[in-house]
Amino acid sequence: MIRSPLITVMVQAVRKAGRNLARDFGEVENLQVSLKGPANFVSSADRKAEETLYAELSRARPGYGFTMEERGKVEGQDEANEWVIDPLDGTTNFLHGIPLFAISVALVRNGVPFAGVIFNPVTDELYVAEKGQGAYLNDRRLRVAARRKLADCVVGCGIPHLGRGDHNKFQRELALVQGQVAGVRRTGAAALDLAWVAAGRFDAFWERDLSSWDMAAGMILIREAGGSVTDLDGHDKSLENGHIIAGNADMREDLFRLLKKA
């Protein structure tokens, strides 16, 4: 695994936050939960994890700014570097006792993901990547899947739910995709979906209307694992517009063309 000072700082922060999340996951029925929006829950665990990450990363890199799911944007003196943080991606899974959730931390440098860490504290799967240094799951080097035919592929996606997204558009896209691939999966945690693309578990992935903290760490993971990431217009503007499609270069392009037909 990468042992750079930057990755060391990030890993220490997510592991500290992850210990609390793992404990709270074991007592999920006792969590104080507030309703932030339709089907979009925030737990006390979510807020505690974000506070831990903010404290640890602020101490290690005091000049860097932050964009966080709960606290929002915190400007830093170093305008080139920004931490982009989702303290608990897959909150609904977490609150329903489904062990598919993760902490996602990225360092975005001059608007481009430079390093990323995604950590599932229940499975102890730690994904790390740094520009030019490769991508790893724990101590194993990652490469995106090498499949070249959609008919052989398992594709991940996000499904718009209550109060979010264009349901009709998604249904048109899904109808086209499901007839061309070996399987379609939806986990409920976009950060993990992207990490799974980097690990070769998913051959490709697409979703609309995400936030930067859902994607930034996963984007650098996939690129360092040899994959391709764009928005749904084929441009490198996912962090701006919230739309993403990823896979190896061939599968991303084939899926891109298929979705365009919808």
User: Does residue 22 have a pLDDT over 80?
Assistant: yes
Instruction: Identify the weakest region by mean pLDDT among 13-22, 143-152, 160-169, 201-210.
Output: 160-169
Question: Measured between alpha carbons, how far is 56 from 42 in angstroms, rounded to an integer?
Answer: 21
pLDDT of residue 59: 97
Q: Which of 141, 163, 188 is the last residue of a domain?
A: 141
78 and 126 part of one domain: yes
Residues annotated within the binding site are 69, 86, 88-89, 214
Q: How many folded domains does the chain comprise?
A: 2
User: Does residue 13 have a pLDDT over 90?
Assistant: yes
175 and 137 part of one domain: no
Supply the CATH number for residue 110's domain. 3.30.540.10
158 and 102 part of one domain: no
pLDDT of residue 28: 78
160 and 71 part of one domain: no
DSSP three-state, residue 229: strand
Query: Residue 35: which pLDDT band, with cuts at 50, 70 and 90?
Result: low
Query: Residue 32: which pLDDT band, with cuts at 50, 70 and 90?
Result: low
What lies within 8 Å, CB to CB, of 218 at 6+ separation is 104, 116, 118, 190, 191, 193, 194, 195, 197, 198, 246
132 and 241 part of one domain: no
**Which domain does 194 fall in, by range?**
150-260
How far is C-alpha 231 from the chain's CA centre? 14
**For residue 187, what is the enclosing H or E element?**
none
**pTM for the model:** 0.94
pLDDT, average across residues 88-102: 92
User: Does residue 38 have a pLDDT over 70?
Assistant: no
User: Does residue 149 have a pLDDT over 60?
Assistant: yes
Ramachandran category for residue 169: left, alpha or beta (phi over 0 → left; psi -120 to 50 → alpha): alpha
User: Does residue 19 have a pLDDT over 60?
Assistant: yes
189: which DSSP letter? -
237 and 158 part of one domain: yes
Supply the CATH number for residue 162's domain. 3.40.190.80
- Can you name the residues that pair with 108 across neighbouring β-strands? 82, 113
User: Does residue 252 have a pLDDT over 80?
Assistant: yes
Ramachandran category for residue 138: left, alpha or beta (phi over 0 → left; psi -120 to 50 → alpha): left
126 and 254 part of one domain: no
Instruction: Identify the weakest region by mean pLDDT among 41-50, 89-98, 239-248.
Output: 41-50
Q: Which of 109, 141, 173 is the last residue of a domain?
A: 141
158 and 195 part of one domain: yes
User: Does residue 106 have a pLDDT over 80?
Assistant: yes
126 and 65 part of one domain: yes
Instruction: Identify the weakest region by mean pLDDT among 153-167, 211-225, 236-250.
Output: 153-167
Residues annotated within the binding site for Mg(2+) are 69, 86, 88-89, 214
Output the average pLDDT for the chain: 94
137 and 154 part of one domain: no
Q: Which of 119, 141, 163 is the last residue of a domain?
A: 141
pLDDT, average across residues 109-131: 98
| Residue 142 CA: distances (Å) to CA of 34, 130, 191, 221, 230 | 38, 12, 16, 9, 20
E strands, 208-262, where?
Answer: 228-230, 244-247
| Residue 239 CA: distances (Å) to CA of 60, 201, 230, 253 | 25, 23, 10, 19
User: Does residue 116 have a pLDDT over 60?
Assistant: yes
128 and 185 part of one domain: no
User: Does residue 39 have a pLDDT over 80?
Assistant: no
Query: Residue 40: which pLDDT band, with cuts at 50, 70 and 90?
Result: low
245 and 194 part of one domain: yes
